[in-house]
Amino acid sequence: MNDLLADIQALVECESPSQDHDAVARSAEVVAAIGRRLLGAEPERLVTDGCTHLRWRFGDGPPRVLLLGHHDTVWPLGSLRTHPFSVEDGVLRGPGCFDMKAGVVMALHAAAALADRSGLAILVTGDEEIGAPLSRSLIEEEAKGCGAVLVLEASADGGALKTRRKGVSQYRVEVEGRAAHAGLEPEKGVNAGIELAHQILAVAALADPDRGTTVVPTVLTAGTTGNTVPAAASVAVDVRAWDAAEQDRVDRAVRSLSPVLAGARIRIAGAVNRAPLDADASADLFELANSLAGGTLTGASVGGASDGNITAGLGIPTLDGLGAVGGGAHADDEHVRVSELLPRTALLVTLTKTLLAKGSSSAATNTGGESGAGQR
C-alpha cells in the first residue's frame, strides 16, 4: 500500500492541465518512471501536436487486452497551493487524484502483478479531458483487434462500474454582426450579442429531458468595449445523449440554425465527439468482473464520457470505471477512498489475467501456439 500511495502522490503533485503541453510532458515522465520501476520496461512516448502520451506493449503478437487511462486533468497550474495532496482519516485528496491519476497508478501496479503480460497493452493519454482530439487515432489503433478494453476512469457513486455512458457532441456557435457606437448610432449596428441570445434560446430548446438529452450553452463571449455594439459573439454548446439517433437529431438542428436579425451571420463549428457507450458493449465484461468479485459489483449509467466511448464505438467490448473509488471529480471535494485502492487493484489483476488467458487460448486454437512473452 505504501508504494501505491507514494506513486499516486508523485503523480498528483506533478500538475498536468490538458492545454499545457509542457506540464503534460512532465507528468508523462512521472508516469514513465513509475512504469519503468514496476514493469522493468520503458514506454513508447507518442507525441501528437506537442501532447505526450505513453504506451507499453507486451508480447510478440498483437495486443488482446488494453488498459486505458489518461494523465491530464482539468486543474490549472497552481492548484496544489489551494488543494495540496493529503491522506487523512482514510481519504486521499489532491487535484486530479480521483479523475484519474489514482487509476493510472492502479493500472501500472496491476500490470506489475501479472506473471505473464503477453498480449497486454497499456495506453495513457494526455488530452482526454478536452475530448481526446490528439489521441483519438492512437486509442483506435491500439484498441482494434483487442478482445477487451478496461478503462481505469474513476468509479461511479459507491464504487459502481460505469456500464453505460452518454455520447458527447461539442459545438461553437459564432455570430458575426456589425459594430456601431452604442450611444450615437446603435441603429447602424447589427448586435451580435442579441443575435447570440436568440441562438442560445434555440439551442437550449433542443434538449429532450424525456430521452435524457441535454443541450447546454456554456462559455459565452461577446463585444469589445462597453460603448460599442458587439460585432462578434460566440457560445460553446455541450450536448449529451444516450443514443446515436439523438446525437444525429441535435447535430442536424444545430447546423440548421439561421439568423434572426437582418444582417447577422452564423457559423457553426464542432461535431459529434464521442458516440455513446451502450450497455451492450460492457455487459459481458461486467458479468465476468462481477463473477470474479463474488457478485459484489454494481453498474451505473452516467452522463460523462470517456475514451471508453471511443473504443465501444468501434464495437470492442469495453468496461469503464475500474479505477479509484471516491468522488468530487473536477471539484473542490475531489477525493479517493484509500481502503478501496488495494481491492480494486486486485480485481483489475484478476480480470486482466482472466481475459489474457482466454485470449491466449483462442490464439492457440487459431494458430497452433501462443505468442512469446516479453515487451515489444
Domain ranges of the chain: 2-166+276-367, 167-273
Is the pLDDT score of 44 beyond 70?
Answer: yes
Structure confidence at residue 213 (pLDDT):
98
In sequence order, what are the residues at sequence separation of 6 or more whose Cβ sits closer than 8 angstroms to the Cβ of residue 158?
A: 298, 325
For the chain, how far is it from start to end, CA to CA, in angstroms?
Answer: 29
Structure confidence at residue 373 (pLDDT):
35
Percent of the chain with pLDDT over 70: 95
- pLDDT band of 7, cuts 50, 70, 90: very high
- pLDDT band of 358, cuts 50, 70, 90: confident
Structure confidence at residue 369 (pLDDT):
39
Residue 56, beta-bridge partner list: 122
- In the chain, the amino acid numbered 248 is D
Structure confidence at residue 314 (pLDDT):
94
Q: Give the pairing of strands 335-337 and 51-57.
A: unpaired
Structure confidence at residue 371 (pLDDT):
35
Structure confidence at residue 361 (pLDDT):
52
Structure confidence at residue 360 (pLDDT):
58
Q: Read off the C-alpha cell for 255.
A: 447546423
Is the pLDDT score of 366 beyond 70?
Answer: no
Average pLDDT over residues 142-152: 96
For the domain spanning 167-273, the CATH number is 3.30.70.360
For the domain spanning 2-166+276-367, the CATH number is 3.40.630.10
Question: Cell 455512458 appears where?
Answer: 165
Is the pLDDT score of 365 beyond 50?
Answer: no
For 57-102, write each residue's pLDDT tens digit: 999 989 999 999 999 999 999 999 999 999 999 999 999 999 999 9
Average pLDDT over residues 284-313: 96
Cα 238 to Cα 261: distance, rounded to the nearest angstrom: 24
Cα 10 to Cα 27: distance, rounded to the nearest angstrom: 9
- pLDDT band of 150, cuts 50, 70, 90: very high
* Inter-residue contact 266 to 173 (CB < 8 Å): yes
Structure confidence at residue 372 (pLDDT):
35
* Inter-residue contact 235 to 173 (CB < 8 Å): yes
Q: Give the pairing of strands 148-151 and 65-70.
A: parallel
* Inter-residue contact 282 to 148 (CB < 8 Å): no
Residue 6, beta-bridge partner list: none
- pLDDT band of 3, cuts 50, 70, 90: very high
Is the pLDDT score of 343 beyond 90?
Answer: yes
Structure confidence at residue 375 (pLDDT):
43
Average pLDDT over residues 204-223: 97
248 phi and psi angles, rounded to 5 deg:
-65, -40
